[in-house]
Structure 1
């Protein structure tokens, strides 16, 4: 499974309940050359050797609000392996939101995220750069290991030259900042492993010096199994906007959504999809290479547990009832991609053969196993993981709102701790 390649892509592609704008770390400015805003750069030389109060790895749904919040008071470097969405002819820029009945006004996340929530002079976004590992300093007198910075390389593979960026040293006995991994359930565990934090036996297989033997890194990774059934579109039905409502079944641990999809060059169909909200099957992430540009090995073990397989059968049966309901049949044609009037055993086989990802993967750096309740990596200083890799389950129908708010909340929390001169270590 490949990782994201565009800054804030999680903010660009959304359905179900939440539609939010693309990358908005600070006040919007007219795009500069190649779609980059003034605080963005793809030139690694501009960042190499410099120091910052915070380094955020990953410019996605969580990394953007986190970095923007921290930039109100501190200098922040955001390192993103992909490019900028601005100026990309393949991406549409649309503002989604909802009318508020009580206030009689239109509201969206993009409206609420104002210029005062970030200082463009304090933020640097390095694009098309992949973090190779974290730099650690070992203080033998204090008996502690602390994150000091990061090593990174160009994402395009044009060179293997390594560059470095650092955290500013603490001043006046205050607390220094952190390297914060917000690279997602696939990226953050991989970076920890490449940095020497993880199961020691696995690290030694790649000749990676062990900084911290931490068994939980890469463990417990999950994805929400999904089943989708495509029906013919009724001739009088035209393609509409993306769905803004999802049906949540109270008696089941899954939810249903519908969307119009292209089935061929000149025809469309209606897809009714459902996902298991709380799967019990768990997998593992392992390194594939010491090259951070190569994706890790990930095994999600979809439907490996009997409980998940039974839930999938229940899902398909519910999809059948939904598709046959009076309010839905007016949108559907006469043919579906599969025979849903099958036996339980046939439906079990159908689930195994047609299970898909919902791209809501999570786990791998779970709270209590890899990080504490303040998202600090256990056993080292100055290093945090704040993203979906810390979750034991994917929240709600779509996790983007939770992830975005977690980034904003943790940013505010860090600001308050620094303002009150409280240690953040």
Structure 2
């Protein structure tokens, strides 16, 4: 590296530190005053930038903030702002945003072809505005296998954690789950740590001690205000390509539409280092590539989309970690909690838990019941293909008639590592606001099903453990709890059991999502190791759509890290190029 480049990088680091200081990145829940965030209706018809990032989500926000320190950046987000929305910011309102089915909701519901009801984000900050908040890193083996620079990975995690990560307040119910996991043999006790280590640990959370959520949007506080423009309610319809006079297709801009339906075009400035970067998530990124003419030729032809590049792997390798849970009614009141403890088993199943009376509700909607509620589509009482709107409505109605004691308790859940089973994604329309068709093929691979069974067997040991005993009715067997969880909501109360079922069948019939779906733009198939789209110039994909496996137990920390990590690498490359001139 030349001395001039070294000075540039040194000065850039000073700018980052100054940005951190002057923008006051703290644990305050007050909405930051971002002068660079605007409604897309204010955008000019035509504009020019060094980098155009599609998707202001978990990866897009840290990526844009980083790049803004030595380039002009346009960040386009199809949703609105998370600030001022208590359904997003408050832990006590978890579930409310996910149950909001209005056209302006920060959560857009979709149902996979498997029948499992799911959600995708449409808000600045992405999935970090909707999730249960658990913050944990990927393991060193994952980092090594992907080929990332471990030192820069560590620095990037710290950069994220200084703004959004906190130690959760461990109370009685979560403590009982932790101690029950240890007694069940998920050892050692790793205490509080962000690291991914086999055994039982307390992880981080993006909710602070006051129950306020801190999202990827907060990472925009690192940005250079003079180098970034963030547009909300900006839906990108197409990536624009040069195909004449170039050796291969080259991205040179995007076309987007504002909330009033007005078209805008943003172009890349001339220069070899200018790029369009797609960070629209595991559904949005492959969908946008296809809509722009990059994907399986026959599929694009069926929608009369002009082919830019025949790339049959776009939309392939879709995965979603299946989740199964057991509800345990408690004779004692329990705290309201989201995910705080995780048991990382040696056989590839992760055990987590959530609790609380009227959990995730509000004065007007007291029965949202957080992560395991039919209001947000998490309906385990009928098999996936039977989760019709009528079944959801019936479950919600039955839940509303239950006495308060039925909601005194919590769920212990398991989800499988990986997973191994894969599916695919296809277009359903030419409208980028419509959901694509996606199939995950839950439990298609026998090893995934076996991991689910072993996870449930571990949960059984936790429920029967001495540390958890005071939170379980002593006359109820785990077999009864399984049947209550897999039957109509009226059976949440501990009074009788239904027909027995095998653990394998329980896994299949009660499978839900934990919103960790990924794939569709896999490294080595759609993008290279630098996340550049193979066969196309000036175009990258940087988000969870590039993952073969979900990192760690929960991916949000690593997706935010990836945005920062790749932002640093891209800037270093840019600065070195400038230094040679």
Q: CA deviation at 1:58?
A: 1.0
Structure with greater strand percent: 1
Tell whether 2:342 aligns with 1:249. Answer: no
Q: CA deviation at 1:329?
A: 2.4
Tell whether 2:114 aligns with 1:118. Answer: no
Aligned to 1:386: 542
Higher relative contact order, chain-length normalized (CA < 8 Å, sep 6+): 2
Change (3 A) 1:144 1:123: same
Contact 1:223 1:357 in 2 (8 A): yes
**Taking structure 1 as the reference length, what is the TM-score of the superposition?**
0.82
Aligned to 1:169: 270
Q: CA deviation at 1:233?
A: 2.2
Aligned to 1:61: 58
Aligned to 1:408: 564
For the residues of structure 1 that align with 2:504 and 2:66, how far apart are their CA atoms? Answer: 47
Tell whether 2:313 aligns with 1:313. Answer: no
Aligned-residue CA RMSD in angstroms?
Answer: 3.2
Tell whether 2:293 aligns with 1:137. Answer: no
| SS of 1:421 mapped into structure 2 | helix
1:124-203 matched pairs, under 5 angstroms: 124-140=229-245, 142-154=246-258, 159=261, 161-170=262-271, 175-203=272-300
Q: CA deviation at 1:144?
A: 2.3
Q: Deviations over 1:196-223 (max 9, x none)?
A: 0000000000000000000110000100
For the residues of structure 1 that align with 2:341 and 2:44, how far apart are their CA atoms? Answer: 43
Contact 1:193 1:217 in 2 (8 A): yes
For the residues of structure 2 that align with 1:344 and 1:316, how far apart are their CA atoms? Answer: 15
Contact 1:74 1:122 in 2 (8 A): yes
Q: Deviations over 1:35-87 (max 9, x none)?
A: 98321111334243111110111111111110000001111111111110112
For the residues of structure 2 that align with 1:55 and 1:130, how far apart are their CA atoms? Answer: 13
The structure 2 residue matched to 1:295, chosen from 431, 435, 446, is: 435
The structure 1 residue matched to 2:167, chosen from 98, 119, 123, is: 98
Change (3 A) 1:417 1:345: same
For the residues of structure 1 that align with 2:38 and 2:221, how far apart are their CA atoms? Answer: 22
**Any unmatched runs of 5+ in structure 1?**
1-23
Contact 1:280 1:305 in 2 (8 A): yes
Contact 2:331 2:408 in 1 (8 A): no
1:346-425 matched pairs, under 5 angstroms: 346-421=502-577
Change (3 A) 1:412 1:47: farther
Change (3 A) 1:101 1:309: closer
Contact 2:317 2:423 in 1 (8 A): yes
Q: Deviations over 1:132-183 (max 9, x none)?
A: 010011242x4221101111123x5x53x4321111111xxxx331110111
The structure 1 residue matched to 2:327, chosen from 226, 230, 238, is: 230
For the residues of structure 2 that align with 1:27 and 1:201, how far apart are their CA atoms? Answer: 50
**Any unmatched runs of 5+ in structure 2?**
1-19, 26-30, 92-163, 169-190, 194-203, 207-213, 360-368, 370-398, 485-496
Aligned to 2:134: none
For the residues of structure 1 that align with 2:83 and 2:553, how far apart are their CA atoms? Answer: 28
* Residues matched between the structures, number: 381
**Taking structure 2 as the reference length, what is the TM-score of the superposition?**
0.61
Contact 2:522 2:548 in 1 (8 A): yes
